[in-house]
Amino acid sequence: MPGLEEVMQTVDKSDTARLLEWAQGWLKEERGHYIDGAWLYEGAAESIPSIDPGTGRRLCEIRQAGNREIDAAVAAARKAFADRRWRSMPRRERSRLLMSIADLIREHSAELAALEALDNGKLFKEAINDDLPEAADVFDYYAGWTDKHYSECSPQDEGFINYTVHEPLGVCALIVPWNFPLLLAMWKIAPALAMGNTVVVKPSPFTSLSILRFFELLHEKIDNLPEGVINLVTGGAETGRLLCEHMGVDKVSFTGSTATGKAVVASSAASNLKQVSLELGGKSPNIVFDDVPDLDFAIERSYAAMFSHKGEKCSEPTRLFVHRKIHDQFVARLVDIASGVKCGAQFDESADQGSQCNQEQFDKIMRYIEIGKSEGGRIVVGGERDTRGENGRGLFVRPTIFTDVDNRMKVSRDEIFGPVLVVIPFASDDEVIEMANDSIYGLAAGLWTRDVSRAHTVAGRLDAGMVFINRFGCYDFASPFGGFKQSGWGKEMAVHSLAAYTRLKSVWLKL
């Protein structure tokens, strides 16, 4: 069927009626797996429904890959890696191809964002403004790394030369979560391809639509990508397990919950000890000292960093520590913002917050709200379902803020992954640093202060992989993304991510 760029030649991106008309037509088409440069529709009849969480309506069926499909996808990727057509492609040509993928995403950003919003529940304006630009730009960034990942020559005694070589790992299984399905897939695909690997991508069964469309576009528009270099299988937990256990997979890159990450490690270790990188959960602290440089900005940014994308973000600042002197004022302002939020369907231009991604996650959030109340926490805003969605079936949760909590409660310790914030007062630097670090997670942390000495001292003492000073949530492709402790292994982004998609070989020569 025609792409959306043809359908929308004379209309603006905000013409949601045309977007939805195109999407509804696209959803009627049969969905398959993309293996060895072709779509595979045969195989297991088992499928998974894709549900619009804003309405509860079924969008389409997603095929569940089993042993046959996994074996075929891994074999295709292995063959493409072994024949060296991709990794031996001239670096500038590989770079140009990656940049052409970036352009492809930009050209089709409206339709990709529409599908992303439909099955994730996030607002279309969030998908088109936040997710899609970076999903394209990351290919431009890694296109620049194809000829810049230098090796080294180590100093040796006379008569010997020793140098290192960065080689591609081989077949990489890329397992993508449901909160930023297209963007986080691109975070993995771009560096893996840049380093000469071949890949098998598995999206979440809740949010496969945008990635399916992306692969359709690759197949239709990118001519010089060798068959088998990039493959797609869809399915649930069993499909992921089969990939992790497969003897033909050399590396697994997984983003998702800490519990599932541990299962990925166990499956990978039980097979062939394949390399694993993990970007997992978080319970990130956000510390506001009484000398905060701009109180208004701190309040607005703390709210946005926490509640945007309906709180379904691993690095969101879910534990807010505010100095006692400004605690009540800070909370009151947050309550004002949250009270004015409108929950609404994905294409509602007036909506501020979309629906949670799936029923399981919605139920988990509501369960934790009840746990927080039973622990003695006081809800100052929110705490209930918003029934303004269509016929009350949408999975909308009002932005929820707890006070009268401490750092030992489950709502303060467990990753809820939704629009639930706990606010805890503190009196001293040592006290708040101890509370901030008292977590199994160590993904991100933030602090707000005018004191440069305090800023650097506290940043150095926080046990987190990313620390944001005077603006929570600063991200750039040139900066590594990843955490400590049970928040994961390895880094996404920057030069540091290339270690996840290469192996280091040491070569000796006797003169």
314 is catalytic: yes
Complete edge-to-edge strand list for the sheet that includes strand 230-232: 38-40, 33-35, 230-232, 198-202, 171-175, 251-255, 275-279, 488-489
Torsion sign over Cα 410, 412, 417, 420: positive
Residue by residue, DSSP assigns 201-224 as: EE--TTS-HHHHHHHHHHHHH--S
User: What does DSSP assign to residue 406?
Assistant: -
The conformation of residue 144, written as its DSSP 8-state character, comes to: T
* Marked catalytic residue, from 279, 312, 316, 415: 279
Known catalytic membership, residue 244: no
Looking up tokens 């959803």 gives 27
CA angle 250, 255, 261 (to 5 degrees): 75
**What is the Cα gyration radius of the chain?**
23
For tokens 């950003």, the residue is: 109
The distance between the two most distant Cα atoms of the chain, rounded to a whole number of Å, is 80
Question: Cα 385 vs. chain centroid, distance in angstroms?
Answer: 25
Phi, psi of 376 (to 5 degrees): 105, 5
* Catalytic hit among 172, 314, 343, 357: 314
Q: Which residues are catalytic?
A: 279, 314
